[in-house]
Amino acid sequence: MLSVLKPKVATQKVPQEKVESTYRSHRIQALSGVFLGYMAYYIVRNNFALSTPYLKQELHLSATEVGLLTSCMLIAYGISKGIMSSLSDKANPKVYMAMGLLLCALVNIMMGFSTAFWMFAGLVVLNGFFQGMGVGPSFITIANWFPRKERGIVGAIWNISHNVGGGIVAPIVGVGFAMLGTSHWQAASYQVPAAVAIVFAMLILALCKGSPVSEGLPPLSEIVKEEADPATQQKANCKAPENMSSWQIFKTYVLPNKNAWFVSFVDVFVYMVRFGMISWLPIYLLQVKHFTKTEMSVAFLFFEWAAIPSTLFAGYLSDKFFKGYRMPPAIISMVLIFFCIIGYWQSTTLFWTTVFAAIVGCLIYIPQFLASVQTMEVVPPFAVGSAVGLRGFMSYILGASLGTSLFGIMVDRVGWDGGFYVLLAGAIGCIVFCVLTHMGAKELTRQREACTESLTNIKAS
């Protein structure tokens, strides 16, 4: 690994009397950094979905070709998410994340100059590949700075960066069109968002932190005593074997872990529904529902931003009401999504189509972020990046590609009804794996309680 990407080593320790205040300050900065950083990744990712009507018009692409082009980016992202998230276990999170964002911005700038289809497709794949450098450092940072009992609400706060970033893409691109005009649609769609992303890459470097130890603080387990749980303390205190590579960590702690696979398949079906909605929303609303471009942009924004209050509320519920169990709110959300997809599909008015799109957007990020939090809790802290990599690889290679390319194929062959049958099947699949993940979480709780009892008995004797 390049020396600039290697983890920072603290040159001096923080004085004991300043540990608490420094920890609280640094963790707020760390969360702010990954929030703003991942938000910016979405600015140079979701801009592609907004450009699809222009791609069809200017490059004369069919729905199948647009779906396959979208899938190419998502497949590249899924492969990269698996590889890059595993590598991030051994890297400095903030440098790694900032570098990935800068590379995405560079590719978007080049997309603004591209007119040949295959050159454009290659740049789309490159953008998807560099996007994989964002999520691993985010989860590693959260796992480094926040104890398990706070990760529901903290994970929810971080997760709405998806929605803020995805929601502000339309206004940013809109400003680009206002400044440059529709004749320069590529510059407005790609280069203007790229300029915004470069600014946020600088913020990542200014705000993000590596780990408490790399900042001269004691380990997290010494700063925060988690409810006097010996089993949790034992897990928190475990350190990555220095002689193990990223692949060895993945092979030992993630690959044989059934709970890591269950939560990965939750994400597969969440992404199938999410990308089936968001990737086709602009074309569907413009061509089938006959929205204007302004009405479509409003519906797109509602789809993204409606999730912000619901995600925060679900994170709070999973921490407090469901006592750390993440899947019950996810199951409730997916059942409601199933019926709202039908409403979105069958609605005949502007108002109700927008309402059902907003409700799906409001709910779809709940199982996604709860699966993310669950991922941090089924592996040791030093394997979080690898577990995130597996989940990301599966969700994009299977889930996102099914929601985009399979949806497009069904639209071309049997009409839009076929595409919506794909989404309904995805909702059902997600519910099944949410139940399996919940059963796995309960099993882990029983094992933790047995470990706690065993350690207590040993100390008593």
Per residue in 130-147, pLDDT (tens digit) is 998 998 889 888 888 888
pLDDT at 168: 86
- DSSP type of residue 398: I
Domain count for the chain, please give it: 1
179 phi and psi, to 5 degrees?
Answer: -80, -40
What does the pLDDT average to over 181-203? Answer: 90
Any domain includes 287: yes
Any domain includes 333: yes
pLDDT at 32: 93
The Cα–Cα gap between 232 and 220 comes to: 12
Query: How does residue 231 score in pLDDT terms, banded at 50, 70 and 90?
Result: very low
Choice among 80-89, 428-437, 451-460 with the minimum mean pLDDT: 451-460
Question: 160-169, 261-270, 441-450 — which one is most confidently predicted on average?
Answer: 261-270
Question: 80-84, 161-165, 373-377, 418-422 — which one is most confidently predicted on average?
Answer: 418-422
Q: Does residue 415 have a pLDDT over 80? A: yes
- DSSP type of residue 266: H
Kindly report the CA angle at 94 between 89 and 98, in degrees rounded to 5? Answer: 115
User: DSSP readout, 174-239?
Assistant: HHHHHHH-GGGHHIIIIIHHHHHHHHHHHHHHHH----TGGGTPPPHHHH---TT-HHHHHHHH--
Q: Does residue 4 have a pLDDT over 70? A: no
pLDDT at 353: 81
Helices (H), 347-415: 350-377, 384-394, 401, 407-414
pLDDT in tens, 196-211: 999 999 999 988 888 8
Specify the higher pLDDT residue, 104 or 250: 104
Specify the higher pLDDT residue, 129 or 163: 129
Specify the higher pLDDT residue, 188 or 361: 188
Q: Does residue 176 have a pLDDT over 70? A: yes
Nearest of 270, 272, 237, 239 to residue 400 by alpha carbon: 272
- Taking a C-beta distance cutoff of 8 angstroms, is the pair 89, 249 a contact? yes
pLDDT in tens, 61-83: 776 777 777 778 877 887 887 78
- Taking a C-beta distance cutoff of 8 angstroms, is the pair 294, 348 a contact? no
SS3 assignment, position 113: coil
**Cα 187 to chain center, whole Å?**
26
pLDDT at 232: 46
Any domain includes 216: no
What does the pLDDT average to over 368-384? Answer: 80
Query: How does residue 230 score in pLDDT terms, banded at 50, 70 and 90?
Result: very low
Choice among 169-178, 292-301, 424-433 with the minimum mean pLDDT: 292-301
CATH code: domain of residue 68: 1.20.1250.20
Any domain includes 2: no
Tell me the percentage of the chain whose pLDDT exceeds 70.
Answer: 90
Any domain includes 11: no
Kindly report the CA angle at 262 between 258 and 268, in degrees rounded to 5? Answer: 140
pLDDT at 259: 87
Nearest of 408, 419, 23, 456 to residue 214 by alpha carbon: 23
Would you state the structure tokens that stand for residue 285, as one six-digit string? 């609303």
pLDDT at 460: 62
Choice among 139-143, 184-188, 314-318 with the minimum mean pLDDT: 314-318
pLDDT at 458: 66
pLDDT at 108: 93
Query: How does residue 451 score in pLDDT terms, banded at 50, 70 and 90?
Result: low
Any domain includes 379: yes
Any domain includes 213: no
Any domain includes 247: no
pLDDT at 455: 61
| Mean pLDDT over each residue of the chain, to the nearest integer | 82
Query: How does residue 459 score in pLDDT terms, banded at 50, 70 and 90?
Result: low
Nearest of 40, 70, 60 to residue 279 by alpha carbon: 70
- Taking a C-beta distance cutoff of 8 angstroms, is the pair 90, 7 a contact? yes
Question: Residue 115: which domain range?
Answer: 20-208+256-460
Q: Does residue 228 have a pLDDT over 50? A: no
pLDDT at 245: 73
Query: How does residue 227 score in pLDDT terms, banded at 50, 70 and 90?
Result: very low
Q: Does residue 21 have a pLDDT over 70? A: yes
Residue-wise burial string across 139-154, b where 16 or more C-beta atoms lie within 10 A, e elsewhere: bbbbbbbbbbbbbbbb
What does the pLDDT average to over 230-253? Answer: 63
Q: Does residue 236 have a pLDDT over 60? A: no
The Cα–Cα gap between 77 and 63 comes to: 21
Other beta carbons within 10 Å of 256: 9
Specify the higher pLDDT residue, 451 or 111: 111
